[in-house]
Amino acid sequence: MRPSGNGERAMPKREDIKKILLIGSGPIVIGQACEFDYSGTQACKALREEGYTVVLVNSNPATIMTDPETADRVYVEPLTVEFLERIIERERPDALLPTVGGQTGLNLAVALAEQGILHKYGVELIGAKLGAIKKAEDRGLFKEAMLRCGLDVPRSKVVHSAEEARDFGAEVGYQAVIRPAFTLGGTGAGISFNKNEYEKAVQYGLDASPVTEVLIEESVIGWKEFELEVMRDLKGNVVIICSIENFDPMGVHTGDSITVAPAQTLTDKEYQIMRDAAITIMREIGVDTGGSNVQFAVCPTTGRLTVIEMNPRVSRSSALASKATGFPIAKIAAKLAVGYTLNEIPNDITRETPASFEPTVDYVVTKIPRWAFEKFPGAQDVLTVQMKSVGETMSIGRTFKESLQKAIRGLEIGRAGMGADGKDKPLTAGGDPVAEKDALLRAMRTPNRDRVFQIASALRLGATVEDIFETTKIDPWFVRQMKEITDAEPAMQHAVPTDAAAMRRIKQLGFSDRQLAFAWGKTEDDVRALRKQLGVIPGYRLVDTCAAEFEAYTPYYYSSYDGEDETRLSGKESIIILGGGPNRIGQGIEFDYCCVHAAFALKDDGYETIMVNCNPETVSTDYDTSDSLFFEPVTFEDVMNIIDRVKPKGVIVQFGGQTPLNLAQRLKAAGAPIIGTTPDSIARAEDRELFRDVVERLNLLQPDNATATSFEQASVIADRIGYPVVVRPSFVLGGRAMEIVYDRAALERYMTVAVEASPEHPILIDKFLESAVEIDVDAISDGETVVVAGIMQHIEEAGVHSGDSACILPPYDLPEDIIRRLREQTRALARELEVIGLMNIQYAVRGDDIYLLEVNPRASRTIPFVSKAIGVPLAKLAARVMAGKKLVDLGFTEDPTPSYISAKEVVLPFIKFPGVDILLGPEMRSTGEVMGIDQSMGLAFAKSQIAAGTRLPMKGTIFLSLNKNDQKNMDDVAQGLHELGFKLVATQGTAARLRALGIPVEAVAKLNEGRPNILDRVINGEIDWIINTPLGIDAKEDDRALRRAALERAVPTMTTLAAARAGVAAISAMRTGNPQLLSLQEYHAQNKRS
């Protein structure tokens, strides 16, 4: 309803602009994840709804926003000023909305404005003007602005040199927070407690800042941390969408903090002062319209309120706030940017009421980050002001206790709740409770990812709320809530309840069936049966923005054990799509993309689509994506409860990655109607022994392999098949704990760690195929027709995890015969495994031999990339096939071959983990990906490199240090570099080989060969590209410092010869040709014609 009345002068949308440019946030990196796909997609939809033409640029193919349906013109191109200028020149947009593409989008908008490009092409910044952005982002200007409007800020100084920093430190002390200007997710930020740490942190920050500028702040570590999400319209109306209180006090980046909405421990007086401050800040900074986020620190003993920072754009927190309240911040922000006022936009959820209000909630939302320290040996599990988490889960409960336990089980870290699940491991040996309690208190003093479990364990051992507050500064309110849970445990464990009321009280504290099963020595299935027998089932409540004051029309649910159930079903046949839970390395936005597509396609086919997921960053958890959204952990218990309630026609487990797939067998056993490839077929592909039968039956080739459960067994096997071998636990995603082992000693070391990593599953041992070309194939099957949708040739050879490898579609140098055989084998496997839906196969090709490495009868990480490369929405087709359609009916029966080349490159988070080596290996560590499309392999790869932030040099000096094997195969690379006019420097061995080829080269000392050595040259900025391929553990150690130095100075480093070869092709292509600039829609039209 558009309100109207006397005196209400409508602010119609702007008619003077027709075409709007949006810049996405690029690849998923730590600090900038799929929340910006969510916000960007919402903005695109909102603007198109209003009749604007939307031009979108984003290099990340795994996003919904880069679907050709989302924007009128989608450019999957590198996010650089140069490419953006060309796109602006070609598209001539009237306006640029800079606030929905994260820090990347905002920084690019600033650069385009400052370089006069927007002015030159007459593009107006809408939402936030340059001045406002600068005032909010420049720490000096921001502080001045805060002081001008009478707000308190920590004492601070912006410095540009170590000397300036030293003077300030001498004046105010060395307990400080050091933040570099213009970096993402707090990259390069640090905390210091003494002079040494202070000076080190300052230097690190200065290096990390693109403008060599850091802000040094008086430390407010240990203060309470709050955030407000604020919206403003052109008339100056301001509303607060959500307040967030951090469980972890100041000192831990908010992206690494457990956070809770709404704020729990502020009186109304304090909250209103904070609200007034946020509104004052919005007006002072001058953000015209849209959402911003303001962070505050509050002294726990005096209530002193200081402003920490504000983001003049939608953020990770605003995605969380949108999901936490049901208020779609990005969507509303887009509408405000084109001239509407808040009261002119209806609240989707209540329909009757306008968006000019402040959501009020009647539940508690908890967000917990998920980290990946285990993937970065050498990285410390310590949380600081630099964000390190790779994903997060959110949960909704009627109380904090319910919400917290639910969030923990939604994290999927093997924990069933806040401990009491049989997984609590004592820190001390000997079982002395006092020593253990002391050890726990010592451990929790430094923020770390297990802190919530350490606190719970300490409480069980008699630590007081005060002890924990003194140690951690976590507000006593939170600790007491945790204590209420641990206090209830003895009685809960003592006896199995016999009446519904007692059972319900236990469930209201958030205990999972798994925790109860552990307490009572039963199986989870027993507990579930008992619970259902007592009639204790969850009720689903609505997220309605208004605490039930108005009727809600949007079916966005969470479970609670308060009793009442508000679920409304349409009566149509329904299909449940299980999401992937929190993002982690190996399972991220790509799978969410597939889930979203399944929802879209099945909705179109007339089903009631039901999404189950607990990741607040995603498009899948936008209540607009499916017909109903259940914001719930993707665990057996929570999923079965929903299935019991909605009785779906089908449940889709193959789109959300390993999370739902791991539930498939149990769900099926419990009676869930799994559609698509059967859980039995999935097991045949995933179980080594069963799969060997499949391979034999089809007469295919596998690297020699076997399964071991002990080191002794493993050693015998390795001797038989010959080193090197690839070892890994079964049933894991992303190559978790996968390694290439070259000798017996390494194998022994591995087996102890690996068995630890996956106690319930044996270890797989494969012959490692050295120098083989790795191939990824995505196919779709309906049980009759199999279409090989995409064949990707990896740049890196087998041995580098496929998720960390760059790849090219179609293959760039495979013989036709091999390609034909790959297609044949893929079809045979799809038929043999009775695949209904998607399937991904990894092959290794060596000479004429095709080895089968892995078959996954599910959506793969490459589905979005392939879909964009071939112009066919594979996940949509697969969902419809799973629901019973045939590919013939869907018009997709021929293997597509695009007329252009697509390259995928990955981005790696090494810069966030000081000291960690950047060598690629069989364990996946990349967080995201980019895509480059062009007419040649060289240009497509070049674009992918630029998009991934690797600045391949066009001239300058190249350092080569190759292992013995690679030296034999490097002739073409060396020759190519020489012909392109690069100056070459190399280590002794490599240099000798180059000289033998007649290529001029300067020999340079290795790190252990005296000074000056190559490290000095890199630090001096004399090296423009490093090609370094060490082999074996010792060689790897030698050059580690070199690679690290290169990383910190953004010197491109390639650690495989294959990547270097592709790099040479890219440089050569860039020299001779100009990258092409076409929208995805234009590329796809080419395919339709061809």
Partner 1 sequence: MKKAILAIADGSVFEGRAVGADGESTGELVFNTSMTGYQEILTDPSYAGQIVTMTYPHIGNYGCNEADTESKHPYVWGFVMRECCFEPSNWRATSTLPEYLQKHNVVAIDGVDTRQITRLLRTKGAQKAVISTVDFDHASLLNKARNSADMAGSDFVKEVAVKEAYEWPAPAEVKYRVVAMDYGIKHNILRLLSAHGCSVRVLPATAGPEEVLAEKPDGVFLSNGPGDPAALPYVYPTVRALIDRKIPIFGICLGHQILGHALGGNTYKLKFGHRGGNQPVLDQNTGRVEITAQNHGFAVDTATLNADEIDFSHVHLNDRTCSGMTHKTLPIFSVQYHPEASPGPHDSRYLFERFTKLMDEYKAAQSA
Q: What is the DSSP letter of 154?
A: -
Amino acid present at 755? V
CA distance linking residue 1000 with residue 898, whole number of Å: 41
Q: What is the DSSP letter of 461?
A: T
Binder of partner 1 out of 3, 131, 210, 377 (CB under 8 A): 3
Residue with tokens 């069936």: 513
Q: Is 432 in the site for partner 1 (CB under 8 A)?
A: no
Site for partner 1 in 328-357 (CB under 8 A): 341-343, 352-354, 356-357
Q: Is 470 in the site for partner 1 (CB under 8 A)?
A: no
Q: Is 301 in the site for partner 1 (CB under 8 A)?
A: yes
Q: Is 864 in the site for partner 1 (CB under 8 A)?
A: no
Q: Is 265 in the site for partner 1 (CB under 8 A)?
A: yes
Q: How far is the CB of 563 from partner 1 (least distance, A)?
A: 6
Q: How far is the CB of 363 from partner 1 (least distance, A)?
A: 7
Grouping H, G, I as helix, E, B as strand and the rest as coil, residue 675 is: coil
Q: Is 567 in the site for partner 1 (CB under 8 A)?
A: no
Report which secondary-structure segment, H or E, holds 957.
strand 957-962
Amino acid present at 564? E
Select the span of 89-97, 558-566, 882-890, 962-970 touching partner 1 (CB under 8 A). Answer: 558-566
Select the span of 270-278, 778-786, 848-856, 933-941 touching partner 1 (CB under 8 A). Answer: 270-278
Q: Is the dihedral of CA 304, 310, 314, 315 positive or negative?
A: negative
Q: Is 266 in the site for partner 1 (CB under 8 A)?
A: yes
Select the span of 415-423, 453-461, 544-552, 652-660 touching partner 1 (CB under 8 A). Answer: 544-552
Q: Which of 795, 772, 976, 814 is nearest to 902 (CA)?
A: 795
C-beta of residue 328 within 8 angstroms of C-beta of residue 346: no
Q: How far is the CB of 687 from partner 1 (least distance, A)?
A: 46
Q: What is the DSSP letter of 188?
A: T
Binder of partner 1 out of 114, 144, 362, 824 (CB under 8 A): 362
Nearest CB to partner 1, comparing residues 269 and 1011 = 269
Binder of partner 1 out of 142, 168, 340, 363 (CB under 8 A): 363
Select the span of 63-71, 263-271, 617-625, 816-824 touching partner 1 (CB under 8 A). Answer: 263-271
Grouping H, G, I as helix, E, B as strand and the rest as coil, residue 417 is: coil
Nearest CB to partner 1, comparing residues 71 and 266 = 266
Residue 984's DSSP bridge partners are 958
Binder of partner 1 out of 50, 164, 199, 358 (CB under 8 A): 358
Give the binding-site size for partner 1 (rule: CB under 8 A).
63
Nearest CB to partner 1, comparing residues 271 and 723 = 271
* Strand arrangement of the beta sheet that strand 650-652 belongs to: 539-542, 556-560, 628-631, 608-613, 574-578, 650-652
Nearest CB to partner 1, comparing residues 59 and 259 = 259
Nearest CB to partner 1, comparing residues 481 and 512 = 481
Q: Is 15 in the site for partner 1 (CB under 8 A)?
A: no
Binder of partner 1 out of 564, 817, 848, 1034 (CB under 8 A): 564
Q: How far is the CB of 569 from partner 1 (least distance, A)?
A: 18
Nearest CB to partner 1, comparing residues 568 and 964 = 568
Q: Is 239 in the site for partner 1 (CB under 8 A)?
A: yes
- Phi (first) and psi of residue 641, to 5 degrees: -60, -40
DSSP class per residue in 1014-1061: HHHHHHTT--SEEEEE--SHHHHHHHHHHHHHHHHTT--EE-SHHHHH
Q: Which residues of 302-340 are buried (b: 16+ CB within 10 A; e: fewer)?
A: eeebbbbbbbbbbbbbbbbbbbbbbbbbbbbbbbbbbbb
Q: How far is the CB of 544 from partner 1 (least distance, A)?
A: 10
> Packing angle between helix 513-520 and helix 476-494, nearest 10 degrees?
50
Q: How far is the CB of 420 from partner 1 (least distance, A)?
A: 21
Q: Which residues of 823-855 are buried (b: 16+ CB within 10 A; e: fewer)?
A: bebbbbbbebbebbbbbbbbbbbeeeebbbbbb
Rg, the chain, Cα only: 28
Nearest CB to partner 1, comparing residues 456 and 808 = 456
Select the span of 259-267, 792-800, 834-842, 963-971 touching partner 1 (CB under 8 A). Answer: 259-267
C-beta of residue 926 within 8 angstroms of C-beta of residue 906: yes
CA distance linking residue 752 with residue 757, whole number of Å: 9
Q: How far is the CB of 359 from partner 1 (least distance, A)?
A: 7
CA distance linking residue 704 with residue 712, whole number of Å: 18
Q: Which of 318, 232, 295, 261 is nearest to 38 (CA)?
A: 318
Q: Is 274 in the site for partner 1 (CB under 8 A)?
A: no
Select the span of 8-16, 650-658, 931-939, 1029-1037 touching partner 1 (CB under 8 A). Answer: 8-16
C-beta of residue 556 within 8 angstroms of C-beta of residue 328: no
Nearest CB to partner 1, comparing residues 63 and 343 = 343
Q: Is 276 in the site for partner 1 (CB under 8 A)?
A: yes
Q: Is 507 in the site for partner 1 (CB under 8 A)?
A: no
Binder of partner 1 out of 74, 118, 546, 1054 (CB under 8 A): 546
CA distance linking residue 695 with residue 687, whole number of Å: 12
Q: Is 462 in the site for partner 1 (CB under 8 A)?
A: no
759: CB partners within 8 A, 6+ apart: none
Select the span of 16-24, 233-241, 682-690, 863-871 touching partner 1 (CB under 8 A). Answer: 233-241
Taking the CA atoms of residue 210, residue 213, residue 218 and residue 222 in that order, the dihedral angle to the nearest 10 degrees is 0
Q: Is 550 in the site for partner 1 (CB under 8 A)?
A: yes
Binder of partner 1 out of 222, 476, 783, 989 (CB under 8 A): 476
Q: Is 541 in the site for partner 1 (CB under 8 A)?
A: yes
Q: How far is the CB of 322 from partner 1 (least distance, A)?
A: 17
DSSP class per residue in 780-802: EE-SS-EEEEEEEEESSPTTS-G
811: left (phi > 0), else alpha (psi -120 to 50), else beta?
A: beta
Interface ranges with partner 1 (CB under 8 A): 3, 5-9, 11, 235-237, 239-240, 262-272, 275-276, 300-303, 341-343, 352-354, 356-364, 398-400, 465, 475-477, 480, 541, 546-551, 562-564, 566
